[in-house]
Amino acid sequence: MSHSVHSHPQLDVQVERKFIPKQKDLGADVTWAKINKDVLRSLEKPRPVFWVIFFSALALFSFGVYCEVYQYQNGMGVADLNNPQVWGLYIATFIFWIGMGHSGTLLSALLHIIHADWRKPIYRYSEAMTTFTLLTAALFVLVHMGRLWQFYYVVAYPNERWTWPNFTSPLVWDATAIGTYLTSSLLFLYMGMIPDLAICRDNARGARRALYRFLSMGWQGTDRQWANFKVAYMTMACFLMPLAVSVHSIVSTDFAVSQNPGWHVTSFPPYFVLGALYSGCSGIITLFIVLRYVFRFEAYMTQPILNKLIKMTFAIAMVWTYLDLIEYATTWYGSDEVAKADLIYRATGDYALQFWGMIFCAMVMPFTLLIRFVRHNYVVLLIISLILNVGMWLERFQIITPTFAKSHYPWTWTAGWWPSWVQWGIVAGSFGWFTMLFMLYCKIFPSVSMYEVKEMVHEQNMEEKALAAQTDVHEAGLVPEMKGGQA
C-alpha cells in the first residue's frame, strides 16, 4: 500500500486505518443468567410442534419395526434382494447414516482444537446427532444380516471353541470402528456435558434432579475440575478427529477392498470421508433451523454462525465434488475396461436418473448457497439442506446398485432391479428412529452448550472492554498514530 502511495505521489490518498467491526456471533443482550434461563426452558414442557415431530417420527419408526419383523420372520427374500443385488438399500443407507455423524465430530473436535469459537452454540446438538446417527447406522448392520439372531458371531469374545471373527474382513473393521466411534463420541458428548448437567441439577426438581445429580457426578466447577476438564476435553478431541476420519475410511474399504468395478478405487477413503462431512454439514444446517424454531434458540443460533456453517458446507461440497470427478476421471482414463463400462452404465443405464439426480442435488445445488437470499431465508435453506442430503443418499445408492447390476460377470447382468416396500419401510423407519431419539435427547439434555456459550459471552465482553480501553487511550492521544506503511 505504501509503495503505491510513494510511487504515485499524485494519488495522494489518505489511507485511513479503520477498525472493521467483526460481526458478533452473539447479540449484546446475552448474559450468563439469560443463557441458563433460555436453555433450561428448552427442557420444560414442550410446545405442540415438538409433539407433532415426535409422534410422526414414532409412527415412521413403528412402520420400520413392522417391516423388520416381517423380514425377520419370512427371510430376506421379502426385500426383493437377489443374487447380484445382495445389499440393496440397507448398505446404502448404512453409509448414509454413518456419514451423517462425521460432521458432529468435525464441529465438536476439530473446530475445538483450532479454537473456532463460533462452533460453541451449535456443537452440542451436532455431537448428539453423531451419536444417534451411529446408533441408526448400527441398526442397518443388524437389519441387513441374514441371520440377525447370530449377530454376536461378529464380536470377538473368548469361547471354548476358539472361534474368532475374521479380522481381515472390512466388516469386522466396520464393527470395531463403529464400536470405537460410538463409545468415544458418547463419552465425548457426556464429558462435554458434565458442567451443563450440573447446571440442570442445580435447577431441577424431583426425578429429574436425581438423574442430573447422578450424571453430573458431583461437578462443582472448581478450578481443579476445570483445569483437568480442559486437558481431558482437548485430549479427547485430538483422538476423536482422526478416529472420525478412520471410521469412514474403513467404511469405504468395504468397497475399495473388494474388486468390483466402480468400487476398486484408490481414492475411495478420502472421497467417503468428504462425502460424510458434506452430508453431515447439511444435516447440521437442517437441525439448526429446526431447533432454532422448535426451542426458540434465536439468540444463540444466529445468522453470523449460520453463515460460517454454510461457508464450511460449501467448501466441503466443493472438495467432495472434486474427489467425485477425479474418481470418474481416473476410471475413464484408466486401463480397466470393466470399470469404464460400469461408469458409462451408471451415467446412461437403468440408474441414470439416480446418477444425474445425485449430480444435480449434490454438485449443482450447493451453488445456491452463494445467494444471499438463500442464506437468510430459513424455509428455502431448510429445503436446500434437505436436497443436499437427498443427493448424498442418491450417491450411496448409485455406488452400490449399478455396480451389482453390471459387474465382472456378464451372465449376472440384470436390468431394472428395484427394492421392495420392505426396504423402503425400513429406510423410512430409520429416519423415524433417529428423529425420535434426537427429539427425546433435546428434551432431556441441554442441546446448547451453556458453559461454552458463557465463555463466548465472556470473551466478547473482554474484547469489548479491551477495545473501549484502547479507544480511550487513542482519544487521549497517548499512543502515536500507526504509520500507513505498516498496514
Partner 1 sequence: MKKSHTLALYADMDEAANALRELKSSGMSGFRMEDVVVKSPIDHPELSELLGPRPVYIQWFTLLGVLLGPTTGLVLIASAQASFIYQVRGGRPVVPLPPDMVLTYELFILSGVLMTVLATFVAMKLPGNRSPLYNASVSEDKIGILVKADPQSIPQINEILGRHKPLEIMGDQAR
Partner 2 sequence: MSLSNLIQNWNSFRTRRPYEGQYDDAPYKWAMVIDLDACIGCNACTVACYAENNLPVVGKERFGKGQAMHWIRIERYWGEGDAMTSEFPDHGAQYLPMLCQQCEAAPCEPVCPVGATHHSPDGLNTQVYNRCVGSRYCSANCPYKVRYFNWWNYPDRAWPNPLELQLNPDVTVRSKGVMEKCTFCMQRLRAGMDKAKTEGRILADGEVLTACAQACPTSAITFGNLADKKSKVARMWKNQQVDLAKDSQEKSEEGIRGYRILEELNTYPSIVYLERVRNLEA
Binding residues vs partner 1 (CB under 8 A): 31-33, 36, 156, 162-164, 166-168, 172-173, 176-177, 179-180, 183-184, 187-188, 191, 194-195, 198-199, 202-203, 217-232, 235-236, 239-240, 242-243, 246, 250, 253, 450-451, 454-455, 458
- Which of partner 1, partner 2, none is residue 87 near (CB under 5 to 8 Å by kind)? partner 2
- Which of partner 1, partner 2, none is residue 75 near (CB under 5 to 8 Å by kind)? partner 2
Q: How far apart are CA 457 and CA 179, in angstroms?
A: 36
CA 286 to chain centre: 11
Cell of 380: 428455502
Q: Are 406 and 345 in contact (CB under 8 A)?
A: yes
CB of 464 to partner 1, least distance (A): 14
Q: How far is CA 89 from CA 94, 103, 139, 330, 396, in A?
A: 8, 23, 13, 27, 9
Residue 146 interacting with partner 2 (CB under 8 A): yes
CB of 172 to partner 2, least distance (A): 5
Could you give the dihedral angle defined by the CA atoms of residues 101, 39, 53 and 426, in that order, rounded to the nearest 10 degrees? Answer: 20
Q: Which among 212, 210, 182, 180 has a CA at the least distance from the CA of 194? A: 212
Q: Which of residues 220-279 bind partner 2 (CB under 8 A)?
A: 254, 257-260
- 179 phi and psi angles, rounded to 5 deg: -60, -45
Residue 85 interacting with partner 2 (CB under 8 A): yes
Tell me which of 150, 159, 335, 486 binds partner 2, using CB under 8 A.
150
CB of 29 to partner 1, least distance (A): 14
Q: Are 127 and 273 in contact (CB under 8 A)?
A: no
Residue 414 interacting with partner 2 (CB under 8 A): yes
Given the rule CB under 8 A, which of 151-159, 213-221, 353-361, 430-438 is the region that contacts partner 2? 151-159
Residue 412 interacting with partner 2 (CB under 8 A): yes
Nearest 5 degrees, angle CA 52-CA 54-CA 58?
Answer: 115
Tell me which of 51, 151, 367, 421 binds partner 2, using CB under 8 A.
151
Residue 76 interacting with partner 2 (CB under 8 A): yes
Please identify, using beta-carbon distances, which residue of 18 and 147 lies nearer to partner 2: 147
Given the rule CB under 8 A, which of 24-32, 62-70, 79-87, 431-439 is the region that contacts partner 2? 79-87
Please identify, using beta-carbon distances, which residue of 144 and 375 lies nearer to partner 2: 144
As a whole number of Å, the CA-based R_g of the chain is 26
Q: Which among 444, 47, 118 has a CA at the least distance from the CA of 312? A: 118
Q: Which among 463, 473, 448, 477 has a CA at the least distance from the CA of 200? A: 448
